[in-house]
Amino acid sequence: MSKYYEKLEPFLEKGMALTTATTLIEWDVETAAPMEAEENTTRVIGILSSEFFSAYNNDEVKKLVYKLQETKEQESLTPKQKGIVRELAKKIEELDKIPPKEYREYNEIKARAFGVWTKAKENNRFEDFAPILEQLISYNKKFAKYRQKRGEHLYDILLEEYEPGFHMEQYDVFFEKLKSELIPFIKKISEKKDTIDKSYNEKSYEIEKQKEFSNYLAAYVGFDFNRGIIAESAHPFTTNLHNRDVRITNHFYKNNLESAIFSIIHETGHALYEMGIDDELTQTLLGEGTSMGVHESQSRFYENIIGRSKEFWIPLYPKLVEQFPEQLKEVSLEQFIKGINKSVPGFIRTEADELTYSIHVLIRYEIEKMIFEEKVSVKELPKIWNQKYKEYLGVEPENDTVGILQDVHWSGGMFGYFPTYALGSAIGAQIYYHMKSIMPFEKYLEEGTLTPIRDYLKDKIHKYGKMKYTNELISDMTGEAFNPDYYIRYLKEKYSKLYELEDVTIEE
């Protein structure tokens, strides 16, 4: 083995241990810690984070990484070691160009921004959030400029962080397609003014019984309780310490049956990805899902393509009715399927149906692009936001709480993240058509046999961790690079059928 790589190993181990410890504390904060713990715990996280920073970003590690990037050294490395060096070099490049003082300042602003945003949202006062949002944007611009290479766009640098290889060049094509194909189609669907009655969803559903069914669903989809646990939190999420300790949460509402059902399927989709990472890679820099988009492709594949299909519910629906006989005895499987897929253009992204969802993302993409590529003042943003909602979805947010203040992302300094949500949905559709062509996909669902589907995804995606990036994964799996046409086709086919549209032509 390369002697330089050998010298690098203790640093990698330390970085891994610090990440694991921080993740565990963060999990505890979200799920179990008492309210007053926050201040002291935040200090501990701060110390661990700066330890992490210096475990990777120090002169010795830098020297080793530069050395290991030389051709001669590269030749002596295994593919796994090469991948680790590549990821480490990326991390160092990110951290190294930012002066530590500014990095600290930025993190302090971020820590404050969440509280400011929460209050502003509560009080419907964008003007209270605007000043700190402006600071967050200017730090992100500044940091991107430090890393900018000649001719590189600032927004591309941010996009690359969440989805390596996907920049405005790719996203522009993708979102233009969504715009031109989906917006007229959504209009057609909403003109149908459907009479789908889903009032059953707001009846009273006992939380304990919901929990039982939620755990049952997780196991049904493939969550391995020997390698993971499920808890509750305000907003459902997934985190992982390694491939044998993957944690997800759910949230229950008494008067919303769907919410917990689709959240648990979604998070289980994320969890299966992390549980499926190869033992060789876990606890290394390659030991997690390759990108936000691919992660979301897995969660949304399970949640929507599988979880909202009729075939999936054929064996399951009787069990749900058994769990809630009073509430559901009058609701047929057909009505339930129409209910869980009902499309209504609305203000809120996280409550959007599958058809209109990506248009919410499109709006955020266009606005972020304006922020980082053009001159637009923060003050103008709510107006632009509302105009776009009106133009694309035909609805105008009645206030900023349900408009521009709805998402937490910007308060956490996350710019360039949103597009991965739509990308993930589209990747999922491409995977779906591919899998349908090589296995009796629908039959498996109808029979309640999800193992072949899960095993295939593990074999083609999960096990690789960060060894492969998005396009390589997709083309190795489907024989074709990312192609948004499948997503358009999927949505049009599905919704034409649900809404009995006759005059829609679907291009093959």
Residue number with CB closer to Zn ion (397 or 428): 428
Distance CA 231, CA 38 (A): 19
Distance CA 231, CA 428 (A): 27
Tell me the CA end-to-end span of the chain in Å, nearest whole number: 51
Residue number with CB closer to Zn ion (370 or 408): 408
At a CB cut-off of 8 Å and minimum separation 6, what does 495 contact? 185, 189, 341, 343, 355, 501
Residues that bind Zn ion (CB under 5 A): 299
| Tokens (6 digits) for 466 | 């960060």
Residue number with CB closer to Zn ion (249 or 327): 249
Comparing CA positions, the residue from 68, 59, 131, 127 lying closest to residue 92 is 59
> What's the one-letter identity of residue 321?
V
The CA angle 276-277-283, to the nearest 5 degrees, is 140
> What's the one-letter identity of residue 196?
I
> What's the one-letter identity of residue 468?
K
- Shortest reach from residue 86's CB to Zn ion, in Å: 26
At a CB cut-off of 8 Å and minimum separation 6, what does 326 contact? none
- Shortest reach from residue 363's CB to Zn ion, in Å: 19
- Shortest reach from residue 301's CB to Zn ion, in Å: 11
Give 44-72 as a DSSP string: HHHHHHHHHHHHHSSHHHHHHHHHHTSHH
The CA angle 324-329-333, to the nearest 5 degrees, is 95
- Shortest reach from residue 299's CB to Zn ion, in Å: 4
Q: Which of 73, 160, 181, 267 is catalytic?
A: 267
CA atoms within 13 A on the CB side of 176: 6
Residue number with CB closer to Zn ion (331 or 457): 457
- Shortest reach from residue 306's CB to Zn ion, in Å: 15
The dihedrals phi and psi of 245, each to the nearest 5 degrees, come to -150, 85
| Tokens (6 digits) for 372 | 């980082």
Q: Are 261 and 440 in contact (CB under 8 A)?
A: no
- Shortest reach from residue 270's CB to Zn ion, in Å: 6
Residue number with CB closer to Zn ion (299 or 411): 299
| Residue 160 among the catalytic residues | no
Residue number with CB closer to Zn ion (73 or 353): 353
CA atoms within 13 A on the CB side of 86: 15
The phi-psi region of residue 303 (left if phi > 0; otherwise alpha if psi is between -120 and 50; otherwise beta) is alpha
Residue of closest CB approach to Zn ion: 299
Q: Are 257 and 324 in contact (CB under 8 A)?
A: yes
Residue number with CB closer to Zn ion (2 or 238): 238
- Shortest reach from residue 298's CB to Zn ion, in Å: 9
Residues annotated as catalytic are 267
